[in-house]
Amino acid sequence: MKLWQKGATAHEKVDVFTVGKDRDYDLVLAQYDCEASIAHAQMLSKIGLLSQIEADQLCAVLTDLKKQAIEGRFSIDEEFEDMHSKIEHELTKQLGDIGKKIHTARSRNDQVLVALHLYLKHEIKELKNQIITLFDTLMVLAEKHQSDLLPGYTHLQVAMPSSVGLWLSAYAEILIDDLFFLEAAQKIADQNPLGSAAGYGSAFPIDRAFTTKLMNFKDLKVNAVAAQISRGKLEKSTAMALASIGSSLAKLSMDICLYMGQDFNFISFPDDLTTGSSIMPHKKNPDVFELIRGKGNLLQALPNQLAMLTTNLPSGYHRELQLTKGPIIEAIQEVKACIDLLLFSLPKLKVTPNITDQKKYDSLFSVDTLNASVLNGKPFREAYRELGKAIEEGDYIPNRNVQHTHIGSIGNLRLDLIRDKIKPLRE
């Protein structure tokens, strides 16, 4: 069944090619299509195109279909092109001609667009909550290990003292930046495009403010053409947020992989979070974190993928916009899975104590020795040359009793200030 079909059918090869994986992705969106259809039916009743009894009957069936979609019992058979055709078929099957009235004053274009808006609104909220939970997890660990020193690196060379607390609270704080991206995407998603129809509005006297309120959108996408050409842009704004999150997760996972290596041995995890080798019995591989790193890096390509897909498209609907659904749905599922694994793994983190007491980390404390000389009145350049000579000649004796006091240093993490930054983003 195809909503656009007027008589002759498309060739089977054309049908298979144009539908693609849409049925799979529409299973994710179906509950939101039902939600929007409920609002649409109520609006049609309000303006007199449906009776109240007809609207109530439609809403009852749509509510049941929405429940089926949420519970995973909704299916889209091959005879149907998409969720829209399957839902309308079910309405017609159960209600007869009343079911055929649901498509009055709308197009599949604004149907899928409003479903995407509702879906992304929901998923962005879910992601925000997940990231806040990850933030809290990192902050608890940072507080617990704020006195455990780590080598800090520049150019992958031992540089200056860091700490587990400084390291983990750094990742917690950059998650706040990722939340800012999500907030921006949420504002774009929180606009109702329903009623824009095929992109040029409708001759029916529809009440778009009414459906905006019913679906709990903050704003209406006023201009019908603006609503249509926002498709693709909506997904790109979300993709930017997902890419930012991917960057954070990938970098954290890279650090974990590095710090778990035998040459570093800063941290470890229980054996059940690692995997082995088929030929090397000693191996405990950080596969989970390597995959999070890889998935996070792939996510960073998503904005460019969507930008290339929608580049140079003129206003109005074009079929390639269908291809924006899959990447964004799959990316959201990947991000949520990655965060879920980190939330499962990180509380089991084990820190190797006193790692910087090893002689190979003597030079880690040279900057502190230099700064102490300057604080005692010696000019910086003179102190720098003297210490450099002492290191070169093997006369340098490190003072491991570091004293860092400024805000955001290993001696003054000010985790309270970082927690204050995220407060406005908590719901």
Q: Yes or no: say if 117 and 234 are a contact pair by the CB < 8 Å rule.
A: yes
Q: Which of these, 218, 245, 233, lies nearest to 337 by C-alpha position?
A: 245
pTM for the model stands at 0.92
**How many Å apart are CA 365 and CA 387, to the nearest integer?**
11
**How many Cα atoms within 13 Å fall on the side-chain side of residue 395?**
6
Q: Where are the domains of the chain?
A: 12-104, 109-201+223-356, 357-425
Per-residue pLDDT of the chain in tens (427 residues, 90 and over written 9):
555 454 556 567 766 676 668 889 999 999 999 999 999 999 999 999 999 999 999 999 999 999 999 999 999 998 898 999 999 999 999 999 999 999 999 998 999 999 999 999 999 999 999 999 999 999 999 999 999 999 999 999 999 999 999 999 999 999 999 999 999 999 999 999 999 999 999 999 999 999 999 999 999 999 999 999 998 899 999 999 999 999 999 999 999 999 999 899 999 999 888 776 556 666 678 899 999 999 999 999 999 999 999 888 888 888 888 889 999 999 999 999 999 999 999 999 999 999 999 999 999 999 998 998 899 999 999 989 988 998 899 998 898 988 899 999 999 999 999 999 999 999 6
Q: Which two tokens stand for residue 34?
A: 């039902």
Q: Which two tokens stand for residue 58?
A: 């439609």
**Topology alike, domains 12-104 and 109-201+223-356:** no
Q: Yes or no: say if 410 and 404 are a contact pair by the CB < 8 Å rule.
A: yes
Q: Is CATH 1.20.200.10 the classification given to domain 109-201+223-356? A: yes
Distances in Å between the alpha carbon of 374 and those of 95, 371, 386, 391, 398?
A: 86, 5, 12, 17, 16
Provide the pairing of β-strand 267-268 with 350-351.
antiparallel
Q: Phi and psi dihedrals of 262, rounded to 5?
A: -60, -30
Record: fold of 12-104: Fumarase C; Chain B, domain 1 (1.10.275)
Which residues, other chains included, contact 392 with Cβ-Cβ below 8 Å and sequence gap of 6+? none
Given phi > 0 = left and psi -120 to 50 = alpha, else beta, which region is 223? Answer: beta
